Structure 1
Amino acid sequence: MKPLHRHVVNTSRKVLCTAALAASLTTAAVVTNTPTAGAGESEPTPDSPQATDRGDARLDLPGLVADPPVPPGAVAPEGASGIPGTALDAYKRAAVSVAAALPHCNLPWELVAGIGRVESVHASGYGLKSDGSTEKPIRGPRLDGNGYAQIKDTDKGEWDADTEYDRAVGPLQFIPSTWKTWGADGNGDGSRDPNNIYDAALGAGLYLCAGDRDLSDPAKLDQAILSYNNSREYVNSVLGYMRQYKDGGVAEVPNPPAGNFPTPPVTAPLPTPRPPAPQPSAPKPEASKPPAQPEKPKPTAPRLAKFELVGDPELQAEAGAALTPGAKFKAVLSDGKPAAGQKVVFAVESDTTGGTVFQADKKNSAVVLTDAQGFAGVPGLTAGPKDGTFSFRASAYDADNFTVVLKGTVTAKPVANLLVRADHGTKPLEAVAGTSVNGFQLVATSQGQPVAGTKTSAGLGVQGAGGAWVPVDPAKATGPYFKGPDGKKLFTVDLAPSGADGKITLPELYTTDVAPGTYFLRVVTPEKVELVLELSITAPATPGPTPAPTAPNTPTPSAPTPTAPATKP
């Protein structure tokens, strides 16, 4: 196994499987190659095995679970509008996945939820777990032709535990032969299990969208539901729940526990006998025709063959911080050329960080097209507001689905455990009465490193007995003060959070009309980390007496010195 445990899941569906982002990542790899049913494939019809009369899994359930009564005076009963959290997540994730793979299908998650409600009441009573599995198997009646359609075993009992006849299985009640074609991996665990609601919901979405259906067309929507169960009553029920979920809202409820009612054994008789279903008549052999001239095989277009992680896989950030991933993903076609324009879906899920999202639209999923070289970069993210774990999943899909899963954690923001003076001084702050103290700074630190975003408040007070801090009474205070926006005196203020360098700047502190003396100012964090500053206010200097003016000294002119007359030669 490689050091990073690369985890590339190559599933067999054109689907997206969402997951989430983390701080410290590992990757691992599992490859599966099972039969595929791609988009645009021939669509199921009302005579498909899935659409036959396959009974009702709710026959196993007590009446109050299968059909909850409407509470008195309630418009939308919780039994109808309430959906277990895991089931709701599975339906929504399936719709996102199908929208990425088949954007023209317009599959609403409420449609998948409507089918889940009619088929198994969202796996209620079977012990739905958070991973999508159930404590008890969900199986419909035996399809042996006694009251229902006859479908002989197609899975050797793998899913329905019956090696003679098939049964519909799982929360979405798939016939095993249908699942063989439409099975999907909705939770990225590398397997396709119709008993897992994540896998079943995704498989149902792909089945409904087959044949390039556009489910925004009422006729196509009707046709799709009939292909799931060829019953007008069934269609009406599914559409009724779908519209209720759309129009009336949905209440997410806890996953219900497993009921104590027994699950009927494989050979159990049907609870309500029905007349035998008519058997189809044997087809009449057609007259043989001469073999047609074989057509020349058409060259197949290159398919997506490889999708891998390149670059730095580490996605690490503190809570609430911007996260710029260094990871990129490369898509390669079967002919070895880059898969330019390949759609890649990135998604965040299983998130316990309070909401890690993409920066652009604040959503937890994004679709990116690869460039001419087949590369897709991960858009910028913002880590959730609290520490926790989450996963990040990148999926590229064609006839097969390629998925890379990254896992990790988001760490909590460091909390300041010390406030220090930015000037590292120890002497009291000094100011002359009538002037102000302005621009003084502190630094919030943790283990000697600056801490950004630290919130603090500053207030005047005194240290009482035992060193307890006693704030001044604003009505009686005569010491230094701050000013509010309205110019009024304030003796306690909230300071702006520390910057990236951890620095906190005190607002201007005024001393007008303040008597000289010693005062104290405390700066404290919500975690009670504090720094008490001593303020020394001095009196203005007193000017000395003005000296009396003196007369200027006038110099006395000196007498001229006589000179001897010049002697003639």
Structure 2
Amino acid sequence: MSAQFGRRLRKGAVATTVAAAAVAALSASQAPGVTVDDSGRSTAADAQPSPDATGDDSGATGNSPYYTDLPPLNSPSPAPTVGTPAATGSTEAGIPATVLDAYKRAASSLQSSKPGCNLPWELLAAIGKVESGQARGGRVDADGNTIGKILGPKLNGVGFAHISDTDGGAYDGDSVYDRAVGPMQFIPSTWEWAGRDGNDDGKKDPNNIYDAALAAGHYLCRFGWDLSTQSDLNSAILSYNNSQDYLNTVLSWLEYYRKGTHEIPDGTGSIPDNRSDENDSASPTPSPTPPSTPGTPSTPGSNTPSPTPPPSDNPSTPGTPTPKPTPTDTVDHLEDAGTAKLTAQAGDTFTKRISTRAETSAGKAVGKVRIRFTIVGDTDTTFTGGESVATVVTNSSGVAVAPTLKAGETTGEFTVRATVVGRSVTGLDYKASVTERVADTLARTSDTALTCTPGGEFADQVVVKATYAGAVADRVAATATLITSADDATANTKGPYFKDADGKTVRTLTGLETDADGLLKLPKLYADDTTGTFLLRINTSGGATLTVELTVAAAAETSESPSPSASPSA
């Protein structure tokens, strides 16, 4: 959050009481699992996300400060009619027009690209509220660019996370430490892979509300989360900023916005007053010591304290606390932590996962270090959830396990590169490969004999099912050939045949593929005037083979015998 977000007023007792009552009122209609604690904040049951789901414990924002203001007690009302007094709560319920449009456009995009996520635009609005007060009350231009950069504090380890510069100051203007950037407060290392172009201008700018809102939507929708379920919703919010209080605050605004919002002009939105770092004992706001009365020097030995110089943003300035070395600072290299061979068929999930260990120069494990896994190369393989980059924090053994890989349709080799976020350490590359879909067994789905008269049409079409290791083998390439004999797989020149689109005789079919159920239905078969037994051979990728027998024979001649005369009745 920016130090320039506006007045940093502290809540009085009355304001706190009203806010607590507001959440209590809201909680009655909140989603299952949401309750109210003794302080009046909404809470969520089972809110802690799984380690594999969140990966990076500093979240999208580096756990930067956020606005803690809670929604008004009264539920929002629709925009008042012109000439009538505004309803209570309507100011907070109003969202600046361009900002609101960005949220709704992002949610609509995610509904198409990741429909299983069920991302509500109100969740983006809730996060936008606590991160930047809806882009500082909607101070954006018509294209969605913020008027002035929105920057969080230096993440220098003094009261905040310690994240050394990862972008050379390209996004945040700071070449020493990272800072959260833009209306959705992404740290540069996260924006580097999560950034999106939400307004189709060819750029990914964290200071553009359309880009930032779409990036936030994709960030919340990774790992296959379904945000219509409370547990996944909690996990997604905590992955953005890993704080229970943050989760409670976002949930409160989410429920508030779900009750009704309206559009207001850009730049007219209300800006919150209170930030999560204002009463943080880890980084207290220094209270200046009153100077001595002019002309009355301090008496040696007296209890009157000397003036304390104000802290400086320059980390080298005397008087500024020197951050303690972080675990990231001690990492010397990365080691493979026993990753097995990485291979999968197209469309399948990899059964093995990448494990990387962070170590000091002495070979000791380093925990609580962020490892970024990036898929590189000409491939459409992704991590579960559709992303090509994932950040995971090492455990107490110094090991980070990457999310599961999901193979696309592009076959061949690619690389997954592991790097340390916030430190220049040589990356570790893992080779992986995607092979074509295969089958090891083919079988007909019917045992009906395939027969035809000369010059006729076979009554039944050939339908086969492909499997691999007993499971359905879908989208497997296949060929079908009417072969000369069991020992000669060349195409026959007589007997049964298929027809192409022009009605011409064809005895070899290529480019066939099993369907989602592993089934392959061949076109109709016809017979020429040659009688006898013929063979149809079907082959698939992976070596599955099936030979089907076809019979062409003249219709059996039948003659009706005279019916016996009925015996005369006695």
TM-score class, shorter-chain normalisation, is 0.3 to 0.5
Q: State the TM-score, normalized to the length of structure 1.
A: 0.39
Q: Which has the higher contact order (CA 8 A, sep 6+)?
A: 1
Q: State the TM-score, normalized to the length of structure 2.
A: 0.39
